[in-house]
Amino acid sequence: MKKHFLFTPGPTPIPPESLLSMANQIDYHRSAEAAAQIKDVSEKLKLVFQTRNDVVILTSSGTGAMESVVANILSRGDRVIVIRSGKFGERWGEICSAYGVEFVPIDLEWGESIEPQLVADLLDEHAGIKAVFSTLCETSTGALHDIKSLGQITKRRPTLLVVDAVSALGADDLQMDSWGVDVVVSCSHKGLMTPPGLAFAALNQAAWEASEKASLPKYYFDLRKAQQASWSGSAPYTPAITFIAALQLALNRISTEGIRNVIARHAQLAKAARSAVKSMGLQLFASNPANTLTSILLPEQVDGTRFVRMMREKHGITLAGGQGKLRGKIIRIAHLGWMGENDIVLAIAALERGLSEIGQELQLGAGVAAAQEVFHRQSCSDS
């Protein structure tokens, strides 16, 4: 018998109560009960976004939320800065180009994080920049960006800070209001432990004011319509009500644990995973790794694509491979959402076994011992 375990940065494992809720008979999305549920979910999302602003719910993937923001706060001919440090930073630029928005790129080596002063210097050099687009965690590399420092830079200027927190929301800290972040986007199937199909956009007052002047075309992704409908517990178009029901239960979990505790848990899981990787003699890929996932640079003789396939087919362990120019060169282990200490121990044990089976020289158990030591020290400090 072989069990399957999911360690990808989306989709992520779903808690049993959320899974079971989706087996219930579907309700009418314009009913009073559905309206109450949507209102409750909207309020609980504010806790995760760490904001008092409205969080708009969209029926789409996270990319839909990204596109909606570009269409809603900008006009053709506007100029923006895009931090491109991987596949998803590049996506901001691709969306801007599709809408005729000119962007000034900051291109980083994949695996590196932004030096905030680079952004400040570009803003000084280029007048009239409407927005800076960044990722929180660049999911393709596992690198974390310093959003707090970027917020300190942009809030002194008439420039919006827009952050893709699609993978990292609830895993890496992002204090939207206190850090001066104007727009945050995310989705359901990462740290929020729900199937793919829901996306979210939170805009502060400055961003909503920008949306009043924005002239880019939009229809389905008109965020002002979505915001106004959300006040009555509705949506402009048919919402994914089944996923909203599942999300409500996942958010209940987060609310009970407390968002600060959720982020601390992810930090501990990430610390253990990184310690294990180093103890196995492997190299972390990201210079400033996120809590969301751990990216591992594979030895040159290891074909990462084949290794990921072998781990899934032989051992039931689904890891993520590299994307774009990192295909076959790295693997990514997510410790995201409905994850605990034993999940990390299992993932590391499977990784050790898999690498050993393909001929890598390593001491079996070294990674597991390192992860266990991190958890043991934390347990002792808590007691």
| pLDDT over threshold 80, residue 383 | no
What average pLDDT does the segment 252-256 reach? 98
Confidence of residue 243 (pLDDT cuts 50, 70, 90): very high
Give tens-digit pLDDT for 61-111: 999 999 999 999 999 999 999 999 999 999 999 999 999 999 999 999 999
Confidence of residue 380 (pLDDT cuts 50, 70, 90): confident
Give tens-digit pLDDT for 322-350: 999 999 999 999 999 999 999 999 999 99
Report how far residue 130's alpha carbon sits from residue 104's, in angstroms, rounded to the nearest whole number. Answer: 11
Give tens-digit pLDDT for 286-309: 999 999 999 999 999 999 999 999
- What is the model's pLDDT at position 319? 98
Report how far residue 32's alpha carbon sits from residue 208's, in angstroms, rounded to the nearest whole number. Answer: 28
Give tens-digit pLDDT for 175-231: 999 999 999 999 999 999 999 999 999 999 999 999 999 999 999 999 999 999 999
Is 355 strand, coil or helix?
A: helix
Give yes or no for a contact between 331 and 354, defined as CB atoms under 8 angstroms apart: no
Confidence of residue 382 (pLDDT cuts 50, 70, 90): confident
Give tens-digit pLDDT for 130-181: 999 999 999 999 999 999 999 999 999 999 999 999 999 999 999 999 999 9
Residue 80: partners with Cβ closer than 8 Å, 6 or more residues away: 74, 96, 101, 102, 103, 104, 129, 130, 131, 132, 133
| pLDDT over threshold 80, residue 1 | no
- What is the model's pLDDT at position 294? 98
Confidence of residue 2 (pLDDT cuts 50, 70, 90): confident
Beta strands in the chain (DSSP E): 5-6, 55-59, 79-84, 102-107, 129-135, 137-138, 143-144, 160-164, 183-187, 198-203, 283-284, 293-297, 317-318, 320-321, 330-334
Which tokens in the block code for residue 173?
Answer: 């800290």
Confidence of residue 379 (pLDDT cuts 50, 70, 90): confident
DSSP 240: -
CA-nearest of 100, 191, 186, 175 to 135 is 186
Confidence of residue 247 (pLDDT cuts 50, 70, 90): very high
